[in-house]
Every structure is written in structure tokens, then in C-alpha cells.
Amino acid sequence: MGLQCGIVGLPNVGKSTLFNCLSNAKAQSANFPFCTIEPNVGVITVPDERLNKLVELVQPQNVVPAVVEIVDIAGLVKGASKGEGLGNKFLSNIRETDAIIHVLRCFDDNNIVHVDGNVDPIRDKETIDTELQLKDLETVENRLAKEEKKAQTGGDAKAKRLVEVLHLYKDALVQGKSARSVQLNDLQQEAAKELMLLTNKPILYVCNVDEASVVTGNKYVDAVREAVKDEGAEVLVIGAAIEADIAELDTYEEKQLFLQDLGLEEAGVNKLIRTAYKLLNLRTYFTAGPKEVRAWTFKNGMKAPQTAGIIHTDFEKGFIRAEVIKYEDFIALGSEAKCKEAGKMSVEGKEYVVQDGDMMNFRFNV
């Protein structure tokens, strides 16, 4: 689908360590600021137990999981909106992503320097929020001047609506609020899409903690949860150093034993990948046969012809119908043939909205 989550944060909060755990594309990781200069892109497999069960049942020759793209972006400092540090590059890179994973340092360690001298995740969050808000305010004010002139001279309805939206955003931003905090109606949301504001992107906060806090959290995590409670954003607790240790283990069994010793059911990066996938509003449908079991990524809300087009454009152009089996029915009955016999296969037309986990066959004619 070409959608990306960008990992952001201040220098030395554990972004690149976390990225290394997520991807085989190793980002440099060291104990000094601006270690990551160019954004590193990792194409990462999405853990999905449903795919594993389908493979066990169908025994295909080939398996293709869903993937998500994660981008590790250079650390930001105060003044980035004015070009300080790697500010312009950071802001340009983040603008190109579709969602944000904001890593916050929530652990004490005298051996790892903090760019501001001490650990305070709320201050760190506000530093990045402020820089993104200032850049968005600059964008909004520049656009407002152009659109107000257009609305006055031409009476353009679209320009008038955009001016209305820009004023709402400006009011929020000057108060130190992010654009995502502004409530818009459907028409206003449509007008706002083209603005590509940094603080309008969906966001996930990742609290990077030490080993002692990975299960229960700590005072820093509690403070972050309290600070973001009105944002509608999810908070994940992960120990990046622990994830790095897990990634070094050779076998699945070794990894599971390590996790059990820590009191964890699964690796934190698995939760992070799945959450990033949903943050991008992505869902999965499956195709299954003896040659291949495959997880296909689609945008939530897509209709059957659009999702057929993900396989091949001809499937969308010549779409006739979709044959749909619910994943639970397929697993319970064991095969497509048995689902047909039991009346568990539905035939859907062009208006069918594909659901997460649907097993799909498409009929088309070009």
C-alpha cells in the first residue's frame, strides 16, 4: 500500500535500537546525538496468528505475510522548526510519512546521556510537539494568506471552506494544541487533507523502559499516560534494550523462554508492528490455496473491487463478484469446499465493504 510510520523522538531515546529490532535494515546505534542522519526504511512482516493457522491447515507451497513500512528518522532538537540541528531534514522526512511512532525515554541510566541533561518524557514530548506545531503554524499562516485572497476575489466555495478550516487550525496551534485536536465535519476534513499538517497525523506513544519496568511500567509511564489521555492516542510500553537481546537469540524456543523469564507473553515489537499497522488504518484479507497462502493489505473501508485491484488492476477493471468466507468459518470447517457445502460462502457485489480477516476469491472478466 506504500504507507509508512515514522519513528520520531529526541536523540538518544532508543529510536534506532528499536528500529534495529523491527527490521533487518540496521540503523546505526550509538551513544551520541544525530547518530541517524538519513532516514532508514524497514519493510517489516506483520505478526498474524491467523496466517499461521491457515498455513497449518492448507499446507501451501508458498506463504506471503502482510508487511508495514517503518522509517527511522533523525533525532530532533529545540529550534528544529527554524532549521536548528537537523531540523529541516527531520521535518521534511516526517512530512512524507502517514503516521508517527513517538518514542519517549522512560528509564534512568547515567551511562546514556540525555540531550537535555535529565530524564523527563513529558518535557521531551512537549519539545517535539512544539516544533511540529510551530512548523504547522507557519504552513497554515502562509496558506491562509493565499486562500483568503482567492476566497474574496473569486467567491470560490472550496477556498472559503479551506479558509474556515485554516482558521480553526490556527486557533488551536497558537494555543499550543496539535491539529489533530480540532474537530472537523466531513466537508471540512475533505478540505483539510491537502494541507498535510505534521500534527494531524495519527500518533502512537512508545515508552522505552528498563527491564524492571517492562511489565508494570513506572512513574514516567504513568506521567505519559496522564499527559496524552485526551489525545485519543495509544501508549505502548517496550524495553528497547530487552527487545535487542531477544532479537539476538537464534531460535523461537529460546526467545519464548526469555520472554517467560521476564513475565511477557510476546515480544514488544510484535505489539508495536500490529499497532503501527492499525495506526495506518490498514487491515488484512486472505487468499488461500495449495500454491500460496497470502495476507493482502487494504485500507479499512475499501469495497470489493478496490481490494481486488490490489492483486491486479485487471481484477478491479473487470470485477464481477467476490466470493467471501469468514476466517472463523474456514478454520472451523477446514476447507473452501466444506464451507460451500455448509452455506458459509457468500457472493458479494461491488458495494461490499471488505472486512478484516475475510477469505476472498474474485471473479472478473477483462
Task: Please tell me whether residues 214 and 143 are part of one structural domain.
Answer: no
End-to-end CA distance of the chain: 24
Number of domains, the chain: 3
User: 13: annotated binding-site residue?
Assistant: yes
Of 322, 317, 331, 333, the C-alpha closest to 355 is: 322
Task: Please tell me whether residues 17 and 90 are part of one structural domain.
Answer: yes
Average pLDDT over residues 213-241: 91
More confident residue, 323 or 194: 323
Domain assignment of residue 295, yes or no: no
Residue 82 has pLDDT above 80, yes or no: no
Domain assignment of residue 30, yes or no: yes
Q: What is the pLDDT of residue 35?
A: 43
Task: Please tell me whether residues 224 and 266 are part of one structural domain.
Answer: yes
Residues ≥6 apart with Cβ < 8 Å to 118: none
User: 16: annotated binding-site residue?
Assistant: yes
Q: Which domain holds residue 104?
A: 4-48+64-115+202-279
Contact between 69 and 43 (Cβ < 8 Å): yes
- The CATH number of whichever domain residue 193 belongs to comes to 1.10.150.300
User: 365: annotated binding-site residue?
Assistant: no
Angle at CA of residue 356, ends 198 and 189, nearest 5° = 30
Burial of 275 by CB count in 10 Å (0-12 exposed, 13-18 middle, 19+ buried)? middle
Q: What is the pLDDT of residue 255?
A: 86
Task: Please tell me whether residues 75 and 218 are part of one structural domain.
Answer: yes
User: 153: annotated binding-site residue?
Assistant: no
pLDDT tens-place string over residues 124-161: 999 889 988 998 999 999 999 888 887 777 667 777 88
- End of a domain among 199, 217, 234? 199
Task: Please tell me whether residues 98 and 176 are part of one structural domain.
Answer: no
Q: What is the pLDDT of residue 38?
A: 53
User: 15: annotated binding-site residue?
Assistant: yes
User: 209: annotated binding-site residue?
Assistant: no
Domain assignment of residue 59, yes or no: no
Q: What is the pLDDT of residue 150?
A: 79
